[in-house]
Structure 1
């Protein structure tokens, strides 16, 4: 009886001791293991309070006490403001490598390789700093605003930049610095790669003071003192101008052969900044100092210039009256035609047209060689005769309409030997063929722009007759893109398109209509600069496989030509804009044939019914919208070349606007020509001329348009579409179908 209470007390004591021992063991575990402790041990951290486990410090950081909420970075390593605590500490990158430059008369291209050490980050960018130095090392100063950078000077993501508007006989030192998200946190100077460039072009001296002769709400007339004559002679003047308040965000330029110019298209009551430089065969001079002049606006501004305006108006009215009297006189006497063709000598034509004095001072106007009674005179006016002994033909690179196309070298006294392409006229020609052959040279000789193929000269006084042009290394754009399918970034493709648009703007400003703009007629050099070429479409395209007869009897390239030009031969800058939209499609599809295997007649009918090419795979929405804008049926609604260049410049300055792809878009505002005009898979395939694949879609279980709209290009391959051209065609049309379905659903319809 007395043993039982003792036994119970002993058991209770043992149980109590066991609980105490277990509690002590748990406490030991919590204190010795970071995963079970409330306060994290050194080398561990817990970013948020609660029951979450402690985490080991990421690389290049450490916690030195207990209970750390974040690990501190090691010396020389940093964590950006937006970096999470779990991210490793990083450091600034090393300097760029292999900095190279390529200098020509108009631009300097800097290229480099990424740094060997990126600091452990991916947000790598580059800045370009420039100093202009004198003969002594301590005579350096920052270039400031005298240079222009494409795409920009700061925040570059690609390892290349183009520098423009540099001066002759100057030493420039460029520093390329690498930066990432923690560069500004370091107290050490940013690592840079340095290169010094000497611009040795023999540029002439500066022009004199730039004076305003008169101003109107939309124009300003400028003149300046002609500089002393140089040994090479002055080719022309380049005038740079921009709105003062924009400080070169919007930059424009024009050229003139006379020491005066009228700048038009300006905004009323607005200050503009102007500067001028000269150009000789040896290169450019420096720009003049900046001059600021204002356009007129309200009545007070107009009143201040009343005397000048009165003189201009009086002269204009008097000149117009005299012109009317002379015209009536010659019409009455029946000698109008004799006056303009016989009396007007070639010297007068050169004075009036080639020097750019008609229709306005400072505006160079294209002169059609066919207006000359003797076409050979146009060749003498606009081209330069080359001694054939200075030409060395190396190899045949192709065949042209009139003969072989060769590559070779051209020696020019006092200059470096340059690579050229030589077009030759085959033997046995008749005079008409010789005239047509040289006609293209007469046209090219009037152009001077970095995005237009440059004519070096002609050989007409010996055989074979030759046209010598600059050599463009990568050949035609369509072939080049097909050979490098998918190799370029979107921004590089946009840069190519911008170059083509710039060349077309130049031609449009001169009053020239190309009529055969296509990727096959664009040439690409080693720096991806695109140059518009092939200026001979005014002749009949007898041998062009892309040409087809029209109802008016001529042959034109149907797939690239605007509807009004096909039907009525109404060629204009607006029809060139249509063709430019097709070139955009070719570039973004890497040289795909427009409208694929559709016949020319099907292309014409489809366009009349409102069909437009769908966006290529990977095409940004902004670019496809520009294409559709170029393909407006009403030609007056199409964009001007100036608008296209401005739009592409905005995309280049803001690359994030190119991130939205057509295949990723979730909604689309209502736009013309995108109504659903089919209700089944069969109707849709019929509309894109792919009805032979109807059974493939059905067998693979694609029975509704909704299911098709979710297809990828891999799905298209999987159902048995074997030809890559067919795959891309169907995939592009799937994107358009997706947009159409979304558009219909937004309006309340369910397909």
Structure 2
């Protein structure tokens, strides 16, 4: 046999960052060294502004399934920090790599995690301590940058772990901590840690998690558990609290009884009934039952005085803190400017400022501030953030975060063909996440379109324009007028055009049009067709064809959003889940519509094509879903690997019934033919 050698470096490293997960994928090396036993190792480094100033990531970051000995050319990275430069070095090795004296061949990629993670936890206090427990509490971070999902509390004994003192000088303090620590999670800004040792000092770190990611760990806080006397004191304290509460409760009961007798049963009953009715009306605002602890959208029109809604949901900003720099556009009510806002921490942040032009009517002022009353209720990384309003001086202003790249449609037209499919899917995923948040709150957007999506410098897309489809008379998108206002026909569901039935399902239709805009780099939906032609064509079953270069999976989702029966359209939670699945399996995105069915005969053709994203879906399609865990455990995790299985592989993973074996073999043969057809087009699936 010829001599073999170590492989060359992996190629074409790509990444996709999805909230708190980072997905790395690469291509196999050109030169395998004449061997097939190739595995991959991933080394993580944290780097400063100087590329030569790097250190190993340590145990704070996790790799799934692991960082070394990877058989597949991909890995998922979890628990990374925000605003950090990570460099990942990926090497391919085989059975003779350890015998070589040549330097290791690797490829590297540097990624900056610029997502808006929450700020650090501040002061942590000890509420009480017993022999084996400590109760802690803390304030929520000043700027969570999203809804707080939970808190992670890491703790360990102050003393070093029991290792030989001769080895201590080889370890940094951080490495000591990583040797032996425990962690727990809490939904609330408080926790009770149990199972501790008596009279022992512990070190605590706390970090917060939102949809945008983790914050860094807080400073170290040192607290000590109690001894037997502290337990006795705690028990006595509890007895005292119980006794005090009992006496207080009895006293309060006596007072209420006297009050009831004096003021009269009838009068008290009427007042209580009025309060109950008022609370019921409040809970049913906007047609939604507002359950305790569930945040629900409140329609500002339910307020008799609209200024009350503005001041309830938006902060009043002192105009001296705002510095307007330049005009960047025109809105329905006045100019839109960019500028700077001085925060309470004396730090200036870039903002966009909408102004209300002079000579306005009270109705115009109400409509202008209505959008602020709506925006102020939302807190999500994919919804434009309201900083505050200026209502007590002129001009009246709405101040929002500044989005450097402007509206999504013009941004895509300006950068036609510059992005990878996975980047476009990442944009769509952000939009769907924001719409899921709005849908969960009971808010219907009514005017979802790429022109109403804003893009920041990190390509994060945020839903904006909450004016409820108040389209300008000279709007180039030519809205269609019906009773009750204007409707942007090209983005609106049929039932909303015909009967003004707006819902999250009609927003899902609009989302399908946004998908088409993104994949066509800002092309105008339905091209030069008139509004009336668009309405008639949709009624006759016409649907937009896939843009050139559009993956099958994405066009299938568009068609799903454009179903005539609104109850059959996907929920935004389903859309988010589906896009996440595609991001985790990016090879599926290489299958383009034109490669499966050829070019459509006419623009209206909507072919019915089916595909599988995961092995589990494939098994369920042939009624063999019960074997999904067997396939996963045996390492058959992708359709590419499954297509190379033989009958011995099928028996080895535990499929014992002859009929089941035949069904799986037959389906694998079909799958293999499909793979060959696609690979003939130049793709590797």
Partners of 2:330 and 2:467 in 1: CA distance: 15
Q: Residue in 2 aligned with 1:129?
A: 44
1:363 maps to which of 286, 291, 294 = 294
Would the alpha carbon gap of residues 237 and 610 (structure 1) be closer, same or farther in structure 2, given more than 3 Å must change? closer
After superposition, the C-alpha distances for 1:416-440 in whole angstroms (9 at most, x for unaligned) are 3211111111111111111111111
Matching of residue 523 in structure 1 with residue 459 in structure 2: no
Report the RMSD for the aligned CA atoms in angstroms: 5.3
Partner of 1:78: 6
Structure 1 622/197 Cα, relative in aligned 2: closer, same or farther at 3 Å? Answer: closer
Q: How far, CA to CA, are the matches of 1:371 and 1:226 in structure 2?
A: 41
Q: In structure 2, the residue corresponding to 1:427 is in which secondary structure? A: coil
Deviation at 1:642, TM superposition (A): 0.5
SS at match of 1:389: helix
Asked whether 1:572 is paired with 2:508, we answer: no
Aligned match of 2:352: 421
Confirm or deny that 1:203 pairs with 2:121.
Answer: yes
Matches within 5 A, 1:713-728: none
Partner of residue 398 from structure 1, selected from 318, 323, 329: 329
TM-score by length of 1: 0.53
Give the corresponding residue for 2:251. none
Q: Which has the larger radius of gyration?
A: 1
Q: Does the CA contact (< 8 Å) of 1:392 and 1:410 recur in 2?
A: yes
C-alpha spacing 1:400/1:141, structure 2 compared with 1 (3 Å):
same
**Residue 92 (str. 1) matches residue 20 (str. 2):** no
1:589–1:205 Cα change, 3 Å: same
CA gap of 1:631–1:128, structure 2 versus 1, over 3 A, is farther
Show structure 2 runs of 5+ residues with no match.
Answer: 33-37, 48-53, 128-133, 152-185, 192-205, 219-265, 608-685
Report whether the alignment pairs 1:492 with 2:407.
no
Q: Give the counterpart of 1:533 among 444, 451, 464.
A: 464
8 Å CA contact 1:94, 1:178 repeated in 2: no
Equivalents in 2 of 1:496, 1:154: separation in Å? 30
1:626 aligns with 2:554: no
TM-score by length of 2: 0.58
- For 1:411, which of 294, 317, 342 is the aligned residue? 342
Query: Structure 1 residue 142 and structure 2 residue 59: aligned?
Result: yes
CA deviation after TM superposition for structure 1 residue 184, in Å: 8.8
Contact 1:541 1:556 in 2 (8 A): no
The aligned counterpart of 2:477 is: 546
Distance verdict in 2 for CA 1:184–1:485, change over 3 Å: farther
1:724 alignment partner in structure 2: none
**Do the aligned residues in 1 keep the contact of 2:121 with 2:207 (CA within 8 Å)?**
no
Alignment match, 1:463: 394
Distance apart, 1:411 and its partner CA: 1.3
Q: 1:413 is paired with a residue of what secondary structure?
A: coil
Higher relative contact order, chain-length normalized (CA < 8 Å, sep 6+): 2
Please name the residue that 1:661 is paired with: 592
- Relative distance call for 1:628 and 1:175 in structure 2 (3 A) is same
State the distance in 2 between where 1:667 and 1:517 align.
31
- Give, in whole Å, the separation in 2 of the partners of 1:110 and 1:662: 25
Asked if the contact 1:237/1:256 (under 8 Å) is kept, the reply is no
2:324 touches 2:337 (CA, 8 Å); kept in 1? yes
The aligned residue for residue 238 of structure 1 is 148
CA distance in 2, matches of 1:529, 1:164: 20
Query: Cα distance, 1:399 vs. partner?
Result: 0.5
Whether 1:380 and 2:290 are equivalent positions in the alignment is: no
1:248-287 pair list within 5 angstroms: 277=208, 284=215
Task: Report deviation, 1:525.
Answer: 1.2
- Contact 1:443/1:535 (<8 A) preserved: yes
Match 1:185 to one of 84, 91, 97: 97
Cα contact 1:131–1:142 (8 A) shared by 2: no
Aligned to 2:493: 562
- TM-superposed deviation, 1:409: 1.2
Cα deviation, 1:594-628, whole Å, max 9, x if unaligned, reads: 00000000000000000000010011111101000
* Counterparts of 2:342 and 2:295, CA distance in 1: 29
Counterpart of 1:479 in structure 2 is 410
Q: Aligned-pair distance for 1:179?
A: 3.1
Task: Evaluate the alpha carbon distance shift between residue 94 and residue 415 of structure 1 in structure 2; reply closer, same or farther with a 3 A threshold.
Answer: farther
Partner deviation per Cα, 1:329-366 (whole Å, 9 max, x = no partner): 9xxx9x99x8799x669xx96xx799xx9733432111
Matched, 1:439 2:374: no
Partner of 1:502 in structure 2? 433
After superposition, give the CA deviation of every residue in 1:215-270 in whole Å (9 maximum; x if it has no partner): xxxxxxxxx989344795999962369xxxxxxxxxxxxx999999xxxxxxxxxx
**Is the alpha carbon distance of 1:450 and 1:154 closer, same or farther for their aligned partners in structure 2, counting shifts above 3 Å?**
farther
**Partner SS state of residue 624, structure 1:** helix
Among residues 555, 574, 579, which one is paired with 1:648 in the alignment? 579
The whole-number CA distance in structure 2 between the counterparts of 1:138 and 1:546 is: 53
* Partner SS for 1:227: strand
Q: Does the CA contact (< 8 Å) of 1:514 and 1:535 recur in 2?
A: yes
Partner of 2:385: 454
Structure 2 CA distance, aligned partners of 1:227 and 1:592? 53
Structure-2 separation of matches of 1:480 and 1:129: 33
Q: Secondary structure at the match of 1:142?
A: helix
How has the CA–CA distance of structure 1 residues 197 and 148 changed in structure 2, closer, same or farther, with 3 Å as cutoff?
farther
Please tell me whether the aligned partners of residues 148 and 165 of structure 1 are also in contact (alpha carbons under 8 angstroms).
no
Task: Give the Å deviation of 1:549.
Answer: 3.6
1:175 CA displacement: 4.5
**Could you tell me how far apart the structure 2 residues matched to 1:389 and 1:487 are?**
41
SS at match of 1:478: helix
Distance 2:289 2:123 in 1: 28
- CA spacing shift, 1:477–1:380, aligned 2, 3 Å: same
Q: Give the distance between the partners of 2:347 and 2:72, measured in 1 at CA.
A: 36
Gap change, CA 1:567 and 1:257, over 3 Å in 2: farther
Alignment CA distance shift 1:555-1:181 (3 Å): farther
Q: Secondary structure at the match of 2:587?
A: helix
SS of alignment partner, residue 479 of structure 2: strand
Structure 1 position 452, deviation (Å): 0.8
Other structure's SS at 1:665 match: helix
Contact 1:353 1:367 in 2 (8 A): no
Contact residue 313 and residue 373 of structure 2 kept, 8 A: yes
**Alpha carbons of structure 1 residues 657 and 433: separation in structure 2 relative to 1, 3 Å:** same
Task: Tell me if the contact between 2:431 and 2:463 (Cα under 8 Å) persists in the aligned partners.
Answer: yes
